[in-house]
A and B are shown apart, each in its own frame.
Chain A
């Protein structure tokens, strides 16, 4: 793909992403307008009734005494400058709060995704189109991981590998080994679907004439699978992984709660239980931005792997 068409398709996707984000932001703003009652009290949150000074502070921050369209413009302007507002419950900037949790979550999510890919790729490649014992094991394994909720997987992992076998700690956060079980919990949420989709694509590729051609050149079964067929599963695999990754920032809520890890998940839970609306809105906007970003990257990668997909997509 020539550089020019890469730039054209990139800018088209970025523009589309900006529109999606603008929609999300507008919806969050509309939410504030629609909910009945005093928006200042809503934004302040918490269980106690705020004082008049506290409400006055909220009104000043959000320009609540001004007409709606001015409030909207103020909201957009703040966001464009990266200002996600203040959490009145925690008396801190929302951006600061999110930043404090985001790294722990990103590390967990990346570790989980990498683990999922590392398990799924060989599992799908080795078992595609075969009827070995491994294939039967893979079938059961995938079905189990797909049907089990992630909190249950997490609890089982803790019981088996931490409490009983004592292999991995879960509370010592400075120990990198404590990442293993939560990452595995995330990974197992994706592995079943990912390897099934990949296997299906690989099996379809294995039936194509070009595989017969490759075999007729003297390639071993392994070379045919890894060298030719595997690449044909990239697009569906990337689509699924991309969707999963796009949702992972909020998807870690359960895992972080089960393992008691600080991060965006625990922050979100706390924000919801204390009715900390500015913080909730911040999580929504950051997740949406992340989702858009991941999808742009996934879309671009299609064209790099399959040159038949030009800038037309």
Chain B
């Protein structure tokens, strides 16, 4: 510990850094009520300085969020918080009462959570939410509040604040909503801002806007504590990084150091797990490849050069009684060869998931056609399609939602196998289920667990096992790794690649994450507003995009990873 502290002072010489406005020393947090007394944060120390950004990096459950909440006294009623020092804005909070905490919340420390859709009260107007902090701390009167809030909304780049004041969060776009949440965080002019995953779940272009906004606040002297699972965001935006693992800080240093000269094995593994151009064809996780040869169907002929999937001129319009009809898919055509991976990228609302639903036969296209294995598919009635349904399998973002929570893994796999004539027999079915589990890297003991008793990565493996059970030829992975931590994402991406290489499956990989798509795909379709903007080889598209929109997307991602040198201009 003392070593780390010594290092900290070495990397941040007192002359260059303004005096600390928050000091936390040897913070320990445990939840004794949780049975065996879970110790979620161990001996964490850090300081915050005006105009500087400190980033907490780590995977879910690493203790980074709960550490930040200790600064607000919002750890939870049943938590035990111990520390040697907790000084915030020149006050000692070691023995703070609720009244002390309430005084500093909002006014001294602003707090911005991820996903403004759930972090703003859906039943309150934007103006109410932004003004609430100000009114609570009696910084303005009720009569002044409207003009103050409109002013703040303007400052975070929300045009037409007068109108937005009376709107509800659901009426705002994702980007505006996140700005409104930040506006609420800074409305009472706090000196510290905690931003907990402020850009997660946002499209890449909006991420850049939100980070620029935070950067502007930082330049005005705000001390920012950024919590993120995204090393790229942290390394380019933060001055100092703390890497969390299981409640402990395993590495700390300047952003440049941590990224280019990681010392701890965990940091190295995290960095290696980030998918992108440099990881193409390589394994992301340290785990050994799966051995899937036994699973190979004897009939896996797959004519060379043929297409497993052909999408011809699909169009789909959604009609609503209250809104204008929305063209979700607009004359989309592409094809996917046997044994290859096609990535579909696009921001939310680009129609990529609707295309997937049509391919899976869950949705009817207004016009156009989908061919599977060269034969009609979307044009067939469901009864005719059913005997071949096993050919196309879905791996979704949220496997939990696609499992019956009361069934064991064994039953989930057994049910899928039961649709095949060869597995009518229970003993055969069980044997095959165990085999499948082993093949996707799970153990026999997982067979009797229920979905909720598995981790996110294990669940996704079960989902993959279930998809493989029925001997498909095409996997549709719709944001299949988007909800996973980077190290788990790496494992699942490796599993998908193993499957593809050894079983010769084709994968349609849909994602908003350009890095993931670049890592795994052979070719790419870029979608925007229901149309295919660009379509071609993955290297060609990523290295020399032809269409302005593709360039825009790539630039946004590029500026994310090169945030610091980029000039910060007004939004």
Q: In the assembly, what is the distance between CA of A305 and CA of B122, in Å?
A: 10
Give the contacting residue for B170; candidates A216, A219, A307, A311; CB below 8 A: A307
* B111-122 near A? 1/0 per residue, CB < 8 Å: 101010011111
Say yes or no: A213-B184 contact (C-beta < 8 A), given A218-B137, A312-B322. yes
Binds A, one of B102-110, B435-443, B551-559: B102-110
Q: In the assembly, what is the distance between CA of A305 and CA of B168, in Å?
A: 12
Is A310 within 8 A of B322, CB to CB?
Answer: yes
Q: State whether the Cβ of B132 lies closer than 8 Å to any Cβ in chain A.
A: yes
Is B102 within 8 A of A213, CB to CB?
Answer: no
* B296-307 near A? 1/0 per residue, CB < 8 Å: 000000000000
Chain A residues numbered 208-238 whose CB sits less than 8 Å from any CB in chain B: 208-210, 212-220, 223, 228, 231-232
Is B123 within 8 A of A217, CB to CB?
Answer: no
**Which A residues form the contact surface with B (CB < 8 A)?**
5, 208-210, 212-220, 223, 228, 231-232, 305-308, 310-312
* Additional A-B contacts beyond A213-B120, A217-B106, A220-B98 (4; CB < 8 A): A209-B118, A210-B119, A218-B136, A231-B123
- B-side contacts of A311, CB under 8 Å: 321-322
Say yes or no: A306-B122 contact (C-beta < 8 A), given A209-B113, A212-B113, A217-B132. yes
- B-side contacts of A307, CB under 8 Å: 123, 168, 170-171
Q: In the assembly, what is the distance between CA of A232 and CA of B170, in Å?
A: 15
Is B136 within 8 A of A213, CB to CB?
Answer: no
Chain B residues numbered 17-31 whose CB sits less than 8 Å from any CB in chain A: none
Give me 22 A-to-B residue pairs in the complex whose CB atoms sit less than 8 angstroms apart, sorted by A's number. Answer: A209-B115, A212-B74, A212-B111, A213-B121, A213-B181, A213-B184, A214-B121, A216-B72, A216-B106, A216-B109, A217-B105, A217-B111, A217-B184, A217-B188, A218-B102, A218-B104, A218-B107, A219-B136, A228-B123, A228-B124, A306-B123, A307-B170
The residue in B106, B115, B171 that gathers the most chain A C-beta atoms within 10 A of its C-beta is B106
Q: In the assembly, what is the distance between CA of A306 and CA of B169, in Å?
A: 11
* B176-202 near A? 1/0 per residue, CB < 8 Å: 000001001000100000000000000
Is B133 within 8 A of A218, CB to CB?
Answer: yes
- B-side contacts of A214, CB under 8 Å: 121, 132
- A-side contacts of B320, CB under 8 Å: 312
How many Å from the CB of A251 to the closest CB on chain B? 31
Closest residue of A by beta carbon distance from B128: A227
Is B322 within 8 A of A213, CB to CB?
Answer: no
Q: In the assembly, what is the distance between CA of A217 and CA of B108, in Å?
A: 10
Is A308 within 8 A of B322, CB to CB?
Answer: no
Q: In the assembly, what is the distance between CA of A231 and CA of B124, in Å?
A: 10
How many Å from the CB of B276 to the closest CB on chain A? 30
- A-side contacts of B322, CB under 8 Å: 5, 310-312
Q: In the assembly, what is the distance between CA of A202 and CA of B357, in Å?
A: 36
Is A208 within 8 A of B105, CB to CB?
Answer: no
Is B132 within 8 A of A219, CB to CB?
Answer: yes
Give the contacting residue for B122; candidates A5, A217, A308, A312; CB below 8 A: A308
Q: In the assembly, what is the distance between CA of A86 and CA of B526, in Å?
A: 75
Say yes or no: A220-B102 contact (C-beta < 8 A), given A213-B120, A228-B124. yes
- B-side contacts of A312, CB under 8 Å: 320-322
Is B119 within 8 A of A209, CB to CB?
Answer: yes
How many Å from the CB of B199 to the closest CB on chain A? 16
Give the contacting residue for A210; candidates B98, B110, B121; CB below 8 A: B121
Q: In the assembly, what is the distance between CA of A219 and CA of B104, in Å?
A: 11
- A-side contacts of B98, CB under 8 Å: 220
Q: In the assembly, what is the distance between CA of A307 and CA of B136, in Å?
A: 25
Q: In the assembly, what is the distance between CA of A9 and CA of B38, in Å?
A: 52
- A-side contacts of B136, CB under 8 Å: 217-219, 223
* B341-357 near A? 1/0 per residue, CB < 8 Å: 00000000000000000
Q: In the assembly, what is the distance between CA of A212 and CA of B170, in Å?
A: 19
How many Å from the CB of A3 to the closest CB on chain B? 14
- A-side contacts of B110, CB under 8 Å: 216
Q: In the assembly, what is the distance between CA of A217 and CA of B190, in Å?
A: 10
- B-side contacts of A232, CB under 8 Å: 123
Is B123 within 8 A of A305, CB to CB?
Answer: yes
Q: In the assembly, what is the distance between CA of A88 and CA of B457, in Å?
A: 76
Closest residue of B by beta carbon distance from A213: B119
Q: In the assembly, what is the distance between CA of A69 and CA of B386, in Å?
A: 51
Closest residue of A by beta carbon distance from B102: A218
List the 5 closest A-B pairs by CB distance, nearest first: A216-B111, A217-B106, A218-B105, A217-B133, A218-B106
Q: In the assembly, what is the distance between CA of A228 and CA of B124, in Å?
A: 8
Is A218 within 8 A of B103, CB to CB?
Answer: yes
* B425-455 near A? 1/0 per residue, CB < 8 Å: 0000000000000000000000000000000
How many Å from the CB of B135 to the closest CB on chain A? 9
Q: In the assembly, what is the distance between CA of A220 and CA of B103, in Å?
A: 10
Is B170 within 8 A of A308, CB to CB?
Answer: yes
- B-side contacts of A212, CB under 8 Å: 74, 111, 113, 119
Q: In the assembly, what is the distance between CA of A214 and CA of B121, in Å?
A: 9
Q: In the assembly, what is the distance between CA of A220 and CA of B120, in Å?
A: 17
Chain B residues numbered 231-268 whose CB sits less than 8 Å from any CB in chain A: none
Chain B residues numbered 112-156 whose CB sits less than 8 Å from any CB in chain A: 113, 115, 118-124, 132-133, 136-137
Q: In the assembly, what is the distance between CA of A213 and CA of B74, in Å?
A: 10
Q: In the assembly, what is the distance between CA of A113 and CA of B540, in Å?
A: 70
Say yes or no: A215-B74 contact (C-beta < 8 A), given A209-B119, A228-B121. yes
Closest residue of B by beta carbon distance from A308: B170
How many Å from the CB of A209 to the closest CB on chain B? 4
How many Å from the CB of B155 to the closest CB on chain A? 18
- A-side contacts of B181, CB under 8 Å: 213
- A-side contacts of B105, CB under 8 Å: 215-218
How many Å from the CB of A6 to the closest CB on chain B? 12
Closest residue of A by beta carbon distance from B109: A216
Chain B residues numbered 51-108 whose CB sits less than 8 Å from any CB in chain A: 72, 74, 98, 102-107
Q: In the assembly, what is the distance between CA of A223 and CA of B136, in Å?
A: 10
Q: In the assembly, what is the distance between CA of A217 and CA of B132, in Å?
A: 8
Q: In the assembly, what is the distance between CA of A89 and CA of B373, in Å?
A: 80
- B-side contacts of A306, CB under 8 Å: 122-123
Is A308 within 8 A of B168, CB to CB?
Answer: yes
Q: In the assembly, what is the distance between CA of A172 and CA of B110, in Å?
A: 61
Q: In the assembly, what is the distance between CA of A232 and CA of B271, in Å?
A: 42
Closest residue of A by beta carbon distance from B115: A209
- A-side contacts of B120, CB under 8 Å: 210, 213
The residue in A208, A213, A306, A308 that gathers the most chain B C-beta atoms within 10 A of its C-beta is A213
Closest residue of A by beta carbon distance from B181: A213
Closest residue of B by beta carbon distance from A311: B322
- B-side contacts of A219, CB under 8 Å: 102, 132, 136
Q: In the assembly, what is the distance between CA of A223 and CA of B98, in Å?
A: 14
- B-side contacts of A213, CB under 8 Å: 111, 113, 119-121, 181, 184
The residue in A208, A210, A232, A308 that gathers the most chain B C-beta atoms within 10 A of its C-beta is A210
